[in-house]
Amino acid sequence: MASQSAPPLYVCLCFILHILTSTLAQSDNYIVYMDLSAMPKAFSGQHSWYSATLQSLSKTTTTTTDVLSSSKLLYSYNHVINGFSASLTPAEHEAVKSSPGYISSIKDLPVKHDTTRSSQFLGLNPNSGAWPVSKFGQDVIIGVVDTGIWPESESFHDEGMTEIPSRWKGECETGTNFSSSLCNKKLIGARFFNKGIIAKNPNITISMNSTRDIDGHGTHTSSTAAGNNVEAASYFGYALGTAGGMAPKARVAMYKALFDEGAFTSDIIAAIDQAISDGVDVLSMSLGLDDLALYEDPLAIATFAAIEKNIFVSTSAGNQGPFLETLHNGIPWVLTVAAGTIDREFGATITLGNGIKVMGKSLYPGNSSVTDLPIAFLDQCHNLTQLRQVGQKIVVCEDKDGSSLGDQVDYISSAKIAGAVFISDYKDLESFFQTTFAAMFMNSKNGEIIKGYIKNNSTEPKGRIEFKKTNVGTKPAPTVTSYSSRGPSQSCPYVLKPDIMAPGDFILAAWPPNLAVAAVNSKFVYSNFNLLSGTSMACPHASGVAALLKGAHPDWSPAAIRSAMMTTADTIDNTNGPISDNNEPASPLAMGAGQINPNKALDPGLIYDANKEDYVNLLCALNYTMKQIQTVTRSSAVNCSTPSLDLNYPSFIYLLNPNDTKSESKTVQFQRTVTNVGEGKSTYTASVTLPVKGFKVSVVPDQLDFKGKNEKQSYKVSIEGPTKIRETVVFGYLSWAEIGGNHVVKSPIVVTNLQNIGNKIT
């Protein structure tokens, strides 16, 4: 009896079912970044463009129906990124890479509440500490003087914000591509100042005559200080998490005084002046001027007026490190912020043909991987002719002396090679991570693994590079960044600067979506978030923390807030060793009092306060003329009867005089007054926790007894030692520890023989 065959229709349906089942089983979710400028005008919006892109995949893959193709679209993003998420098979994922406007794609990863990492790294927690106590900075107004703002950014949405405080006097000015209606309960002020620019260049045309940001710096800094939470933010898959500012419920007022056409001090002063009139509580300025006396520095002059109005001012230290005496904004009445790293690294993994994986560093924003390719070691990649003949390979280049890396990167870029691995022990590798081509960087220890594999492989060695790796919990952290400017201050060396260190390295924050953040193979790419480094990024971290402290302690003066930050700062990293600077314990001239700790600053125990008269006494002791002092104070009624260089500051600096040839040993004294801001009675005892090498430090009295809150007690510190030392800088710490309590009030002590500073001493 002949066998009975299945009906043709049944076979067809089974085959289709098999195709559909295998297709669905192999699918994975991807986030696809698209270039919005490539969207054809025929589409009414991004959603329809993304849908059509997925529909077109059915023509190039085995997908059987348009219905199935269109259903693959999960979300069409309008704010978080320019792009979409979709469920794609491997074949469809490859096909979408050929779609017009495609930039890159990453696998959809599990999302957890991790911010841009810096707030978590600083210990901020929604359930306890500075965030809930200050109500996340609610109703504190942060004024930012910068390049403007991108108001449509999700970081400035006002969901969950209360009504604008009635005391606010500011407004949102209409200008080019900027309507007053763009402001809301988060962004409550937007003004711009460019009369100085126009006066200097009467024929100039201001390209963006409004508060709108076409540079990106102002959007980044303001969202770092007070951006609202935005989920699923990342830089092309790096640093994926929830982006939020230090004070997410604080208000933002932008004062644009830096334009593409230039920036002049007349405009900056006008911006600060307006901010004072409008009623800001905190002023954040990631900018500065170099080599100016206090009476010549418009920032010093303008911020003096702000301090008089009880406005806290945070400024950046500058990016001229690691050299000493390069710091700007060494203004005694403002906070000067250095930049440190956080416990997060961005990188890539190369998987060798033998299965061994080797980690490296990278911020390449293009495709998430370079598939299996032949790999070749070319030693120092200096021969452009040879490199152009390599073809589709991964090349391994070695920077042996730490000086040729930049040239090698340029040569590889010109040669159009598929991928590259750079081996180098250059200490500032971070400046190379953001390549326009697929590249990763590693130290010589990891590099030897790759070199050994290539050398010992009898067949053609191969490798596969996977990018967009984010590792958290890296050690040691924090460290001082090399670029952060070091003290002492040229303008006022008698006050130890910088004051504090805050995260400034590779900080993720909001960015204008029409400004390129990088280039991939000569093509610009765009993102709603960007990773930037600098003391410009550290400053708004401190500004946001100041807003939290202002919200929790509205009666505290700017000096009290600064003191709370400094005396509670961390000097120990996450390895329980001292915070390092180029593998050595960091000096206070690099990191100030240490890494900012918001939760500890909330309850400092004791504070060092200062007022206008204290600053005037300092100005008088600097041998300024009366007119010069009046330039700063704006008052003719200046009393210089009690001049003093010994400002009531939470740090100490002893400047050795190179012209002192009369004695081999000398004793200097400092006097300080502390105020008890803790509850009830308390007793503190003094100790020098890290002896100042070669010097004897004594404290009288060495015990302070407080009977109640707001009581003041004074003490003296004597530093005795040689008038000349071999080291450029020696340092230690004075700590006041509460007996039977948890408070430790810590202040750095520095002794330096820097010649440029010393020659200014009279």
Q: What is the CATH number of the domain that holds 657?
A: 2.60.40.2310
User: Which residue type sits at 380?
Assistant: Q
47 labelled catalytic: no
Instruction: Verify that 242 and 379 share a domain, yes or no.
Output: no
pLDDT at 446 over 50: yes
* pLDDT one-digit tens code per residue, 490-539: 999 999 999 999 999 999 999 999 999 999 988 999 999 999 999 999 99
Closest CA to 103 of 83, 79, 75, 87: 83
Res 61: pLDDT: 58
Residue 68, SS3 per DSSP: helix
Catalytic residue among 155, 536, 587, 747: 536
Query: Mean pLDDT throughout 708-716?
Result: 97
CATH number at residue 201: 3.40.50.200
Please give the Cα distance from 657 to 751 (Å, whole number). Answer: 11
Task: Considering only the C-alpha atoms of the chain, give the largest distance between any 2 of them, rounded to a whole number of Å.
Answer: 124
660 is known as an active-site residue: no
**Do 257 and 122 have their domain in common?**
yes
Residue that is last in its domain, among 472, 503, 521: 472
For helices 298-308 and 265-278, the axis angle rounded to 10 degrees is 10
Cα separations in angstroms, 476 against 300, 431, 479, 588, 596 = 36, 19, 7, 18, 16
Query: Residue 694: inside a domain, yes or no?
Result: yes
HSE-CB at 512 with a 13 A cutoff on CA atoms is 17
Same domain, 223 and 81: no
The secondary structure of residue 222, as a DSSP letter, is: H
Residue with structure tokens 């002949």? 2
Number of H helices, E strands in the chain: 20, 35
d(C-alpha 205, C-alpha 197), whole Å: 10
- Work out the end-to-end distance of the chain between its first and last CA atoms, rounded to an integer number of angstroms: 119
Report, as an integer, the average pLDDT of 279-286: 96
Dihedral sign computed on CA atoms, order 714, 561, 744, 135: positive
Please pick, among 139, 146, 267, 297, the residue that the annotation labels catalytic.
146
Active site residue 113: no
Give the angle subtended at the CA of 176 by the CAs of 174 and 179, to the nearest 5°: 35
Give the whole-angstrom CA distance, residue 124 versus residue 502: 13
Q: How many residues does the chain have?
A: 762
- Report d(CA 331, CA 297) in Å as an integer: 9
Q: Provide, rounded to the nearest whole percent, the portion of the chain with pLDDT above 90.
A: 68
Comparing CA positions, the residue from 39, 47, 41, 90 lying closest to residue 70 is 47
pLDDT in tens, 400-423: 887 889 999 999 999 989 999 999
pLDDT at 11 over 90: no
Q: Is residue 504 part of a domain?
A: yes
What was the pLDDT predicted at 757?
Answer: 58
- For 170-195, the pLDDT digits (tens) are 999 999 999 999 999 999 999 998 88
Q: What angle do CA 502, 506, 511 make, to 5 degrees?
A: 105
Q: Which residue has the higher pLDDT, 301 or 682?
A: 682
Are 489 and 378 members of one domain?
no
Residue 110 is given by DSSP the state P
Q: Cβ-count burial of 314 within 10 angstroms (0-12 exposed, 13-18 middle, 19+ buried)?
A: buried
323 and 352 belong to one structural domain: no
pLDDT number for residue 540? 97
DSSP 352: E
Q: What is the pLDDT of residue 198?
A: 81
Burial of 670 (0-12, 13-18, 19+ CB in 10 A): buried
Answer whether residue 307 shows pLDDT above 50. Answer: yes
Cβ atoms 223, 490 nearer than 8 A:
no
Average the pLDDT over 208-224 and give the result.
97
- Amino acid sitting at position 440: M
Q: Please tell me whether residues 225 and 331 are part of one structural domain.
A: yes
User: How many structural domains does the chain have?
Assistant: 4
- Planar angle of CA 439, 443, 447, nearest 5 degrees: 75
Instruction: Using DSSP, state whether 607 is helix, strand or coil.
Output: strand
Residue 71, pLDDT above cutoff 90: no
Is pLDDT above 60 for 3?
no
**Among 227, 218, 195, CA closest to 148:** 218
Same domain, 182 and 221: yes
The answer to whether residues 661 and 556 belong to one domain is no
Structural domain ending residue among the three candidates 425, 454, 472: 472
pLDDT digits (tens, 9 = 90+) for 459-488: 889 999 999 999 999 999 999 999 999 999
Q: What is the reported pLDDT for 754?
A: 85
426 and 508 share one domain: no
**Cβ neighbours of residue 584 closer than 8 Å, sequence gap 6 or more:** none
String of DSSP letters for 420-473: EEEEE--TTGGGGSS-SSSEEEE-HHHHHHHHHHHHH-SS--EEEEEEEEEEES
For the chain, state the CA radius of gyration: 29
Distance CA 436, CA 89 (A): 28
Position 495 scores a pLDDT of: 98
324 and 351 together in one domain = no
Confirm whether 620 is domain-assigned. no
Q: Is the pLDDT of residue 69 over 70?
A: no
Residue 661, SS3 per DSSP: coil
Q: Kindly state whether residues 331 and 397 are assigned to the same domain.
A: no
Residue 202 is assigned to a structural domain of this protein: yes
Give me the chain's average pLDDT, please.
89
* Residue 111 clears pLDDT 60, i.e. is over it: no
Q: For residue 113, is pLDDT > 70?
A: no
Q: What is the CATH number of the domain that holds 364?
A: 3.50.30.30
Say how far residue 245 (Cα) sits from the centre of its chain. 11
**242: containing domain:** 118-341+481-600
How many whole angstroms separate alpha carbon 641 and alpha carbon 169? 38
Q: Is residue 517 part of a domain?
A: yes
Domain boundary, last residue among 472, 499, 522: 472
d(CA 606, CA 501): 20
Residue 53 lies in a domain: yes
Please say if the pLDDT value at position 705 is more than 70.
Answer: yes
691 vs 548 pLDDT, higher one: 548
Is the residue at 759 inside a domain? no
For residue 721, pLDDT beyond 80: yes
Whether 15 is covered by a domain: the verdict is: no
Residue of 217, 328, 541, 743 with catalytic role: 217
Burial class (CB in 10 A: 0-12, 13-18, 19+), 144: buried
Residues 416 and 516 in one domain: no
CB–CB of 82/212 below 8 Å? no
Please tell me the predicted confidence (pLDDT) of residue 21. Answer: 43
Q: How confident is the model over 289-296, as a mean pLDDT? A: 85
CA dist 520 and 49 (Å) reads: 22
